[in-house]
Structure 1
C-alpha cells in the first residue's frame, strides 16, 4: 500500500507530497501554494481521490471510499 500521494491544486497547480492517513479520509486540504481549501470532487470521498496521484488506502485495498 502506498501512503504518499502528490496533491496538485486545481487553482494554482502547486504540487505537494503528503502522507495519507490510514484510519480516516481527509475531506479538506489547505494548498501550500495559494491557500485554497480543497474539498473532494462530487463522487469522491477525500482530497487524495480527487487531487492526488494515489487514491486513499481504502480504495487501494479494493474497498469503498470511507466517505
Structure 2
C-alpha cells in the first residue's frame, strides 16, 4: 500500500478581483488570513472552512488532505 504525497502548493483566487497567486501552505498551522497581492483585500475562511486554502485555493490544506476531507485543522 502506497502513501499519498501531500500537495503543499495551492493557487488562491481572490473572490473580489479574481487575482490568482500560488502559495506554499504551512504544514503546522492553519492560515486564517491572506492579503490579496492585487487588490489588497484580506481574505478570511468561509463559514465552515478551516483556512483560506480550503475556501479559496485549488488544493485543500495538508490536514484536510491527510484525512480525506474529514479532518478539521486548527
Q: Give the TM interval when normalised to the shorter protein.
A: over 0.9
Equivalent in the alignment of 2:43 = 38
The count of residues paired between Structure 1 and Structure 2 equals 67
What's the counterpart of residue 7 of structure 1?
Answer: 12
CA distance in 1, matches of 2:38, 2:28: 27
- 1:20-39 aligned at under 5 Å gives the runs 20-39=25-44
The two structures, once aligned, show a CA RMSD in angstroms of 0.9
TM-score, length-normalised on structure 2? 0.87
Match of 2:72 in 1: 65
Q: CA deviation at 1:59?
A: 0.4
Structure 1, unaligned runs of 5 or more: none
